[in-house]
Amino acid sequence: MTRRNIRLLVQLSRPFFLLGGFLLVGVGSLIARSLGAVIDPVLYLQCQAIVSTLQLMVHFSNEYFDAPGDRGNRQRTPFSGGSGALAPGGLSRSVAAWGAATAAVGFALVLGRMLITGAVPNLSKWVIAAMALGAWSYSAPPLRLVARGVGEIVASFVVAVLVPTLAFTLQADFIAWGLVLAVVPLFLFHGAMLVVLEIPDIEADLQSGKRTLVARLGVPASVRLHLVLIVLGVAALVTSRMVELGPVEWWPIPIVGLAACGHVVQLRRSVSSGIGWTWTAGAAVGLFALTALAEAVGFLSA
């Protein structure tokens, strides 16, 4: 394999988004620690392996099934519209299929090892099953949820709710209010992020018959939905702090709020001008990461 093909393979795996899995596993584990659980490092690493292999499976399968539409995307950014590794002159589409299969095998091996050793509590088994089903069904037939207008909801639930929940239940084996209050704003900000990432892809998605939520709603309604999700996300952070079970201290909330306001203004400018989508998409990803990081710091200091 040439150096260029290795670079394209790394590009195909979307390593930047893998970092989010590490952050969310950390959040879930820190919540458990703040409630008195002693973190088992082996379970922690196994949880991370479960999450990362599922992420890779989704990345590769999404690239494979979305390849026809992504090739015609003229507004692709580093965060949306596919990796670009399967563009003309790039890797073969079959590479993505083999990548998804390899990641699925890796997931099965890690899970099998955990089940054999009896390391998975019953609650965590249900969480893993829901994660695997949602991850595969996001872009793959027969459900292909991303083309049915519900893929965004499922993806946000899997990433922002189930990943921290898995990390938590592997260490604590129960559900706590602190966990619930932590995942609600993450779910809302992740949903807002996906709306932003899909807006520049709307033309290519419509041409390829990919009926995402944004493609169904249209850009104006999607911008309004984004604003609602942002407002609810900030409100959820404030509420969680007010009931004294929240995942953050007071001081990060104005920072997240200001970043959210700036992001809303930036999105509207990109929609009106049709430019600046790389910065806008990056800001959407950054806002979600900032919220998760604020929660991690809050629970670390709890």
Give me the domains of the chain, ranges plus CATH numbers.
3-300 (1.10.600)
Mean of pLDDT values over 78-98:
85
CB 159 within 8 A of CB 20: yes
pLDDT for 87 equals: 78
Token pair 């991690």: residue: 296
- What pTM does this model have? 0.94
Distance between CA atoms of residues 208 and 110, nearest Å: 36
pLDDT for 244 equals: 63
Mean of pLDDT values over 278-287:
94
Specify the amino acid at residue 80. Answer: S
pLDDT for 170 equals: 96
CB 160 within 8 A of CB 190: yes
**Residue 1: pLDDT band with limits 50, 70, 90:** low
CB 263 within 8 A of CB 230: yes
